[in-house]
Amino acid sequence: EPEVTQTPSHQVTQMGQEVILRCVPISNHLYFYWYRQILGQKVEFLVSFYNNEISEKSEIFDDQFSVERPDGSNFTLKIRSTKLEDSAMYFCASNPGPTSTDTQYFGPGTRLTVL
């Protein structure tokens, strides 16, 4: 059964550095999402992507964040200048469509540690 994959599983970076988290959504899915979960807190929506552009974003998704789908398979989240409070698990998800309310399938997550 196809699954969403994410790399790396764990990323350690220094404060102020740029990081790129990578996701390969399930093939032929139409909608893509990033979520994060700070340790001990709830899973929070960051951004959704559809038809090669951002569809929705939360208040958390400020100018230091960006997303790209550089080719037909990858979906990336870039944090331009990391802060200590960016330490969290980051989950990618994809939805096959045709509607935005169809089921979201999650990846295993990338644990980001900012030192």
Partner 1 sequence: AQRVTQPEKLLSVFKGAPVELKCNYSYSGSPELFWYVQYSRQRLQLLLRHISRESIKGFTADLNKGETSFHLKKPFAQEEDSAMYYCALLYSGGGADGLTFGKGTHLIIQP
Instruction: By CB under 8 A, name the binding residues for partner 1.
Output: 3-4, 31, 33, 35, 41-50, 55-56, 58, 91, 95, 100-101, 103-109
Q: What residues contact residue 83 under an 8 Å CB cut-off, 6+ apart?
A: 15, 64, 114
Smallest distance, partner 1 to C-beta of residue 45, A: 3
Residue count of the chain, please give it.
Answer: 115
Smallest distance, partner 1 to C-beta of residue 15, A: 27
Residue closer to partner 1, measured from CB, 75 or 105:
105
Angle CA(80)–CA(83)–CA(85) in degrees, nearest 5?
A: 130
Q: 3-state class of 60 per DSSP?
A: coil
Single-letter residue type at 96: P
DSSP state letter for 99: S
Smallest distance, partner 1 to C-beta of residue 66, A: 17
Residue closer to partner 1, measured from CB, 19 or 93:
93
- Here the tokens at position 92 are 């990618």
Smallest distance, partner 1 to C-beta of residue 101, A: 6
Residue closer to partner 1, measured from CB, 18 or 68:
68
Residue closer to partner 1, measured from CB, 60 or 76:
60
Q: What residues contact residue 62 under an 8 Å CB cut-off, 6+ apart?
A: none
